[in-house]
Chains A and B, each alone.
Chain A
Amino acid sequence: MAKNVWTPAERVFRGWMLISAGMYALGAAAFLVIGASIPGVINAISRYTLPLPLYPMPTDAPEGAFWRILSVSMMAMLTWISVQAYRDPRRHGNMIPILLLSKTCSTACYTVFFIRHGHLAYMVGFLTDGPIFLVTALLWYAAAGGERNLTRGEDRILAALGEAFMPRGGRFDLGFADVREASLDGTTRMLAVMDVPTLLAMRLSLHFLNWTPVPAFGRRLVSLSADRRAEWLMRLEARRSVMLRTCVIIAKVLILVPFFEQPEAMDAVGYDPAARVRP
């Protein structure tokens, strides 16, 4: 079987998954061996640092052991998911939402409990799980495009933007929809040579653009008609917000450069790449 060639985004994600697997495995071992004394350690730190109420020490077995068993089993599951995602992010990347769900729940609960009870232990949990959630989500999302560096959802956004920028009909017949696949291939070529953070910024800007009409129309850009989309994009271009205008420019470059690389599009505007002044 041919060995997978990972994209830079996938390589970074795999690295993070390897670190995560180690982290969760270590966590599982710690909960198993010294789980009962962890609150005591945090309370000790709390005493010398922040004047926060102390966390009540867990009750003796069997109730305390029950929660430890749950924690260890959760960590074991997260370790296994991380290992699988490390082995093959394309095949097993779809398990990451489980990991993210776990981190969303823990971060949200830690936040609520910290607000209600003020124990340092909850703050530590929030400060640990929150960033882990964020990093995992971003890197998973960056890698989710696979070989093409684009998800199917982003394909749809690009196509919707392409049809808004270059609709069919008018001064020349050809529209983005006529050369969609070839143009999107060109876009993926551009994305493939970008550093991971730049790639991430490009793709997030597409989603951002997609959501911009929601406050005005209650619908995303992909759900608007092509004319309405074009009208909306022109409105964004005229805004003073640098962020909005930058997103429109990024979309134009990602779409129109590959579009006008298509021979039909070159013909339509009368551009001849072989033209020269001197023979």
Chain B
Amino acid sequence: MKTMTYYCKAAVIGTGAGGAVAGATLAEAGIDTILVEQGGVHGTAGHQGVLDGLTNMYADAAMTVALGRPFIPMPIGKAVGGSTIINSSTCFRPPRDRVAAWGGPSYEELEPFFSDIEESISVTTVDTEILGGNGRILKRGCDALGVELKPLRHNIRDCKGRGQCQYGCPEGAKQSMEKNFIPRALGAGARLLAGRRVDRLLMNDGKAVGVAGQGPEGRFEIRADVIVLAMGAFQTPAFLLRNDVANSSERVGRGLHVHPATRVLAEMDEIVDGFKGLPQGAYVDRWADRGIMLEGIFTPPGLMIAGAPGAGHALKNLAADYRRLSGFGVMVADTASGRVLRGRFGLPFIVLYQTSRRDAETMRFGIARLAEIFFAAGAKRVFTNFLPMMSLESPGDLKAFESAPVKPSYLEMMAFHPLGTCRMGSSPADSVVDFDLAAHDVPNLYIMDGSVVPGSLGVNPQITIMGLALRAARRLAARLRA
């Protein structure tokens, strides 16, 4: 079969937080740009529920799993817009101390880029009215304990509180990449190739000169002056390992950091109707010094009940009380680190991640604090996702809960925000890209996604990824124009 060949100045692989920003920035600078995306184009407005979201916008129907004890689902997006289309829209700038630890550009130098991004994706502070019943419960519990519940900042315009952000906003109100940077890129003349998986980096004389892959109509090649990889912290290192490039530091795929997270459910006497309202609109950072962030989470009944303990009539009773359930999440900045391996046996990548006992203890501490908040708000029962005590009947149970033996395998968790698998740094000996996000080893190869962020942030990373990509893409555009 004939290979289709495209020619351009810059090929950007991936259209998530990093790729879309890079693509738009390059295209608006007059650079002939092609964006490639493995997933399809899915306008979210008008979509039909959780199943549509899971099957159209997530890789593997959100069953991407890291191998370890326990296995941890690490859902990632697979659509034009990447994970921004299925995230909770939470926007944090990176903590200053984390930026300082990178040893690269200062926070002050990065700040204008964060501001630019926030303006482009319409970041505002959540109006507490939109939090709905779930927010009301949390507020009551926090007030009773003297803990501050803070509104988050998010990239949603005119939020209606439909409660389905993670499955693609049905109102089209979330300002994910397909709402802003992708149209901007296309408006500036960029071309978008969706539904195409890139598998080879084309090299000539030690330089990156293009990529090749598989599309619906067969093999294709893109010949370009520069290649920007933005496939995320799983796919980008797997791609480099498969092509055996840019890895003289042997850091590619290593140093994976995530935010292990779990959901705590509370059964209330009153009707909560947690599904009416913004699922993730408020947070508690009282224990941020311990690496704990409490953030809102509430899902439609399928995933809510699937994540609850029990079977038969016990589970059915809980489902019958769905309107009386309240939920909130515990997110931990990890101290453990994992690894991404090149894909084998038909898998695009393999993720290994072993949660540390320390992180498990931190998680249990966070669950206990959240349970306290729920009991203070009047909860009848709290479900913990912690094996030795899956449910707590009263605040009196907390002492036993906190002294129960803890092992990572006792926790049922998910993990979000994978970072660090192609870390940036000044030295080619211990990093994959420099602070302009150019690969140390391969001229004309750039990486602009979460994989360059060295280490856990403790907060949702989309603004960090977009800000770093914006800075790097502007510098790259200037170089190309020169």
A positions within 8 Å CB-CB of B: 8, 12, 164-167, 170-172, 186, 189-198, 202, 226-227, 229-231, 233-234, 237-238, 240, 242, 245-246, 249-250, 252-253, 255-261, 265-266, 268-279
Contact = CB atoms under 8 A, between A and B. Distances in A.
A275 B409 contact: no
Interface string B153-180: 0000001111110000011000000000
Nearest to B64: A198
Interface residues of B, number: 59
Contacts of A252: 305-307
Contacts, number: 172
Interface string B291-303: 0000000001111
A275 B275 contact: yes
A278 B306 contact: no
Contacts of B163: 275
Interface in B40-80: 49-51, 54-56, 60-61, 63-65, 69-71
A260 B160 contact: no
A250 to B, nearest CB: 8
B55 A189 contact: yes
Interface string B344-368: 0111100000000000000000000
Contact of A260 (B159, B161, B300, B317): B300
A193 B55 contact: yes
Contacts of A172: 316, 319-320
B2 interface: no
B303 A257 contact: yes
Contacts of A193: 55-56, 60-61
Given A172-B320, A198-B347, A231 B387 contact: no
Contacts of B317: 170-171
Contacts of A12: 346
A261 B130 CA distance: 24
A189 B322 contact: no
Contacts of B162: 274-276
Given A266-B301, A271-B301, 12 more contacts: A166-B319, A190-B61, A194-B63, A227-B312, A242-B71, A257-B303, A258-B51, A261-B49, A269-B301, A271-B275, A273-B49, A275-B273
B313 interface: yes
B322 A194 contact: no
B277 interface: yes
B103 interface: no
Contacts of A255: 306
Given A189-B55, A193-B55, A193-B61, A257 B50 contact: yes
B311 interface: yes
B268 to A, nearest CB: 14
Nearest to A236: B311
A190 B276 contact: no
Ranked 5 nearest A-B pairs via Cβ: A230-B312, A277-B161, A171-B320, A260-B302, A257-B302
A166 B315 contact: yes
Nearest to B277: A277
Contact of B409 (A167, A189, A242, A256): A242
Nearest to A163: B312
Q: Which of A164, A170, A238, A279 has the most CB of B within 10 A?
A: A170
